[in-house]
Amino acid sequence: MKRELAGAAKDLAAYLKSQDEDLAEVPRGAAARPAGKSPATKAASPARPIPAPAPAHVPVEPADMDSLSEKVRNCRKCGLGHARLNAVFGVGSPKAKVVFVGEGPGFQEDHKGEPFVGRSGQLLDKILETVLGLKRSEVYIANIVKCHPMKNPETPEAHGNDRPPTPEEISACRPYLDEQLRAIRPACIVTLGSVATKVLLGTDKGISLVRGRAYDYPVELFGPGHPIKVIPTYHPAALLRNPNLKRDTWEDMKLLKSFLETGKI
């Protein structure tokens, strides 16, 4: 009996270790290509210094969102985990057809533990409602990194302390996003702004050069032939700074709307 129990404990420990290793694996690799094009089609250049995703299909069972969220809440894989007030996992429907992805939480998100709150979040909600006829609860909203990147981690209560995530922080956190995508199985990802676009498409081109069309997500989360479409657009904060970008953003959202309605892009 004792020997059987010891064997079972050993198997359980090996299983848990393999789960941690799955999540810790940092995907890297191919650059994005426009949707429907072959890999030989002229592609964007590999991202530098932003880490790019791997093209390989990872055949693992999707994580349970609650346990994944718990893992993120307890995560200290990079330095951001030590300074954050709250980990910001994501919000919305776990069965959403579209997932919106930004670069990382800011001051307000860190305080509330929810992505895209404050003025940027209100504008995103307005875009969802007016262009797509969708509520925040009908899509999924997440970030590349789940904890607030701060210029000075000693002062999480200070305003104006935001900075973009480093390549190391992105690499550490990126597997959580792919686990979320694997669990949600969306038809489409909308990348909000240059950082999210560069990371998810593996390109070094800025958002103004890649927006206006759809791409295949370079990571084959569901096996060959089942790509998730990626539609890059401007970050709502950029629209607040420069309202001239709204017209292009509306065009991108109309592309998304058409895809959601017809399944074609």
Q: Which residues bind ligand SF4 (CB under 6 A)?
A: 72, 75-78, 80-81, 87, 145-147, 169, 172-173
- CB-nearer residue toward ligand SF4: 50 or 265: 50
Rounded least distance, CB 246 to ligand SF4, Å: 31
- CB-nearer residue toward ligand SF4: 33 or 77: 77
Picking from 128, 150, 142, the residue whose alpha carbon sits closest to that of residue 182 is 142
Q: In what order do the strands lie in the sheet with 98-102?
A: 33-34, 215-216, 229-233, 188-192, 98-102, 140-143, 91-92
Rounded least distance, CB 16 to ligand SF4, Å: 18
- CB-nearer residue toward ligand SF4: 176 or 259: 176
Residue nearest to ligand SF4 (CB): 81
CA distances in angstroms from 154 to 82, 87, 114, 157, 158, listed in the order given: 10, 17, 21, 9, 9
Give residue 218's region: left, alpha or beta (phi > 0; psi -120 to 50): alpha
Rounded least distance, CB 23 to ligand SF4, Å: 10
- CB-nearer residue toward ligand SF4: 47 or 172: 172
Picking from 84, 237, 72, the residue whose alpha carbon sits closest to that of residue 150 is 84
Phi, psi of 129 (to 5 degrees): -75, -50
Rounded least distance, CB 229 to ligand SF4, Å: 25
Token look-up 């650059």 returns 31
Beta bridge partners of 141: 91, 100
- Number of helices (H), then strands (E), in the chain: 10, 7
Token look-up 């657009």 returns 233
- CB-nearer residue toward ligand SF4: 80 or 96: 80
Indicate the angle between helix axes 167-184 and 2-24, nearest 10 degrees.
110
- CB-nearer residue toward ligand SF4: 179 or 252: 179
- CB-nearer residue toward ligand SF4: 89 or 100: 89
Rounded least distance, CB 36 to ligand SF4, Å: 33
Q: Indicate the SS3 state at residue 242.
A: coil
Rounded least distance, CB 170 to ligand SF4, Å: 9
